[in-house]
């Protein structure tokens, strides 16, 4: 999601800039990767298992299957859910396009439901109104790291043959009513792009709370191959034998990148603390600034502050965005409503479909937020924002 498909930093290469997001790699990360380069495995080896176990520890003990990106995690999750032509998937429009595109590529009809006005997360009431007899999955995200209302979604899907999918690209480390994100939905996808809460350079994972889906997720991660004789149709063919039971692709994350992930996960709590500190400083410094609205934080959640999404009022978002980017401050907008993209509008989706999402988009501006952002740089961001609002930048 945030930064998915985009160069970390978001401005032209070589520009002097405070990026809106950035990876944090230290000597322990470098040493972990170097150890794999000196070992016997580069691709699918023991460090993959180590990474998946470590990730599960941050996802409430839910089994995790690593893949090559947050986008391929979504594709595997939808495919494991059995999505295909004739099925419908209810999706938030306030996300990166992959959240919806991965379902559409499997032949599903994407049904966009509106978001809450304050959190920009999928509104459970809007999602419920969008459900039909063809609905197979309801997909929400945890926007900016703020968990969606997963208990409400569970209530509206209870007694129906509908799976809950959490695109948690922003939310590794967040908690919903005391439960780690990764354990709230039937399937949860993570992204480890460089701007995310931890990175494997490129990578993702599926956390599988619905254990009946776990074998299928693991199979789809690896070409759809079946190697366990207990699940083969012709198990007596020979020791070399393997079978493809469903079309898929190679989505295996290699040991090399998993080594970085294992090391990064050891720093997740320190990343979380630093993001929280920076978010609190923004809130204090911007509290009395006119012309903006600060992000909300509901009391029953623990937020891994992935983004700091302010809202610029009075129709000035584009002006403020351009002014700050000219000043070398890498603000970003997250996101264009998904159905505005031509790939969806060409199918008949029209603007005005989700008014709350469109109002949020018209005002949203993400300020730089990442471990490694110094207090001095953060002060520059605030000064640049205030100057832009006063028309002095």
CATH code where residue 343 lies:
3.90.1150.10
What 8-state DSSP symbol labels residue 43?
S
Q: Give the pLDDT confidence score for residue 379 in this predicted structure.
A: 97
pLDDT of 14 over the 80 cut:
no
- Whether residue 193 sits in one domain with residue 142: yes
Q: Considering the domain boundaries, does residue 13 fall inside one?
A: no
User: What are the residue ranges of helices labelled H in 58-97?
Assistant: 70-80
Give the end of a domain, one of 223, 242, 265: 265
Instruction: Name the percent of the chain lying above pLDDT 90.
Output: 92
DSSP letters spanning 222-244: BTTEE--GGG-SSTTS-TT--EE
The SS3 assignment for 272 reads helix
Q: Considering the domain boundaries, does residue 252 fall inside one?
A: yes
- Whether residue 295 sits in one domain with residue 253: no
Phi, psi of 165 (to 5 degrees): -120, 130
Nearest-angstrom CA–CA distance, 254 and 392: 49
Q: Over the stretch 291-329, which tens digit does the pLDDT of each residue have?
A: 999 999 999 999 999 999 999 999 999 999 999 999 999
Give the end of a domain, one of 265, 285, 303: 265
Q: Considering the domain boundaries, does residue 12 fall inside one?
A: no
Q: Over the stretch 340-363, which tens digit does the pLDDT of each residue have?
A: 999 999 999 999 999 999 999 999
Q: Considering the domain boundaries, does residue 87 fall inside one?
A: yes
Q: Give the pLDDT confidence score for residue 44 in this predicted structure.
A: 87
Q: Give the pLDDT confidence score for residue 393 in this predicted structure.
A: 57
pLDDT of 6 over the 60 cut:
no
- Whether residue 323 sits in one domain with residue 177: no
Nearest-angstrom CA–CA distance, 93 and 99: 9
pLDDT of 10 over the 60 cut:
no
Q: Is residue 8 exposed (0-12), middle (13-18) or buried (19+ Cβ within 10 Å)?
A: middle
Please give the residue range of the domain that contains residue 347. Answer: 268-389
DSSP E strands in the chain: the ranges are 64-67, 88-91, 109-112, 135-141, 163-167, 175-176, 179-180, 187-191, 204-208, 225-226, 243-244, 292-293, 301-302, 308-312, 364-367
DSSP E strands in 246-321: the ranges are 292-293, 301-302, 308-312
Task: Give me the mean pLDDT over the 55-68 stretch.
Answer: 98
- Whether residue 117 sits in one domain with residue 81: yes
- Whether residue 381 sits in one domain with residue 254: no
Q: Which of 114, 92, 110, 111 is nearest to 102 (CA)?
A: 110
- Whether residue 149 sits in one domain with residue 261: yes
pLDDT of 11 over the 60 cut:
no
pLDDT of 370 over the 80 cut:
yes
Q: Over the stretch 22-48, which tens digit does the pLDDT of each residue have?
A: 999 999 999 999 999 999 998 889 999
328 Rama sector, left if φ>0, alpha if ψ -120 to 50, beta otherwise: left
Nearest-angstrom CA–CA distance, 5 and 271: 23
DSSP letters spanning 92-159: -SSS-THHHHHHHTTTPEEEE--B-TTT-SBPHHHHHHH--TTEEEEEEE-GGG----HHHHHHHHTT
* Dihedral of the alpha carbons of 269, 198, 58, 278, in degrees to the nearest 10: 40
The SS3 assignment for 166 reads strand
Under 8 Å between Cβ of 207 and 187:
yes
Instruction: Name the percent of the chain lying above pLDDT 70.
Output: 95
Q: Considering the domain boundaries, does residue 344 fall inside one?
A: yes
- Whether residue 230 sits in one domain with residue 277: no
Return the bridge partners of 207, or none. Answer: 64, 188
Q: Which residues contact 153 (CB under 8 A, 6 or more apart)?
A: 122, 124, 127, 138, 140, 164, 185
Q: Over the stretch 110-141, which tens digit does the pLDDT of each residue have?
A: 999 999 999 999 999 999 999 999 999 999 99
Instruction: Give the number of other CB atoms < 10 A from CB of residue 311.
Output: 18
- Whether residue 175 sits in one domain with residue 31: yes
Q: Considering the domain boundaries, does residue 282 fall inside one?
A: yes
Strands 163-167 and 135-141: parallel
Q: Give the pLDDT confidence score for residue 392 in this predicted structure.
A: 66
- Whether residue 299 sits in one domain with residue 220: no
Task: Give me the mean pLDDT over the 245-265 stretch.
Answer: 96
Q: Is residue 269 exposed (0-12), middle (13-18) or buried (19+ Cβ within 10 Å)?
A: exposed
Give the end of a domain, one of 232, 265, 298: 265
- Whether residue 257 sits in one domain with residue 205: yes
Q: Over the stretch 215-233, which tens digit does the pLDDT of each residue have?
A: 999 999 999 999 989 888 9
Q: Considering the domain boundaries, does residue 5 fall inside one?
A: no
- Whether residue 322 sits in one domain with residue 382: yes
The structural domain count of the chain equals: 2
pLDDT of 81 over the 90 cut:
yes
- Whether residue 223 sits in one domain with residue 190: yes
Q: Which residues contact 273 (CB under 8 A, 6 or more apart)?
A: none
Q: Considering the domain boundaries, does residue 8 fall inside one?
A: no
What 8-state DSSP symbol labels residue 177?
T
CATH code where residue 193 lies:
3.40.640.10
Mean pLDDT, all residues of the chain: 94
Q: Give the pLDDT confidence score for residue 2 in this predicted structure.
A: 38
């Amino acid at each position: 999601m945030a930064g998915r498909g985009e160069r970390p930093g978001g401005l032209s290469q070589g520009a002097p800039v405070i990026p809106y997001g950035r990876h944090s790699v230290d000597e322990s990360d470098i040493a972990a990767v170097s150890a794999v380069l000196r070992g016997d495995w580069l691709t699918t080896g023991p460090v993959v298992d180590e990474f998946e176990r470590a990730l599960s520890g941050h996802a409430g003990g839910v089994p995790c299957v690593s893949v090559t990106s947050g986008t391929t995690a979504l594709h595997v999750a939808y495919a494991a859910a059995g999505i295909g032509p004739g099925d419908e998937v209810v999706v938030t429009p306030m996300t990166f396009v992959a959240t919806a595109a991965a379902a559409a590529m499997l032949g599903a009809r994407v049904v966009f439901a509106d978001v809450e006005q304050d959190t920009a997360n999928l509104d459970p009431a809007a999602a419920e109104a969008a459900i039909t007899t063809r609905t197979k999955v309801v997909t929400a995200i945890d926007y900016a790291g703020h968990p969606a209302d997963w208990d409400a979604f569970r209530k509206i899907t209870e007694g129906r043959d509908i799976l809950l999918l959490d695109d948690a690209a922003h939310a590794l480390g967040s908690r919903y009513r005391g439960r780690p994100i990764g354990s709230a939905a039937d399937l949860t996808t993570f992204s480890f792009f460089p701007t995310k809460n931890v990175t494997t350079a490129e990578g993702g994972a599926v956390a599988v709370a619905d254990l009946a889906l776990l074998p299928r997720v693991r199979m789809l991660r690896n070409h759809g191959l079946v190697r366990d004789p207990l699940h083969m149709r012709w198990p007596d063919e020979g020791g070399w034998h393997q079978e493809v039971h469903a079309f898929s692709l190679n989505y295996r994350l290699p040991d090399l990148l998993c080594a970085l992930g294992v090391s990064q996960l050891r720093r997740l709590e320190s990343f979380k603390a630093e993001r929280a500190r920076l978010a609190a400083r923004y809130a204090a410094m911007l509290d009395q600034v006119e012309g903006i609205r600060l992000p909300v934080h509901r009391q029953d959640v623990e937020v891994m502050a992935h983004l700091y999404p302010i809202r610029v009022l009075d129709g000035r978002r584009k002006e403020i965005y351009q002014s700050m980017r000219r000043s070398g401050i890498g603000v970003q907008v997250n996101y264009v409503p998904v159905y505005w993209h031509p790939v969806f509008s060409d199918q008949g989706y029209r603007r005005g479909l989700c008014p709350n999402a469109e109002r949020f988009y018209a005002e949203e501006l993400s300020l730089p937020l990442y471990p490694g952002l110094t207090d001095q740089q953060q002060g520059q961001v605030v000064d640049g924002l205030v100057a832009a609002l006063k028309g002095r930048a």
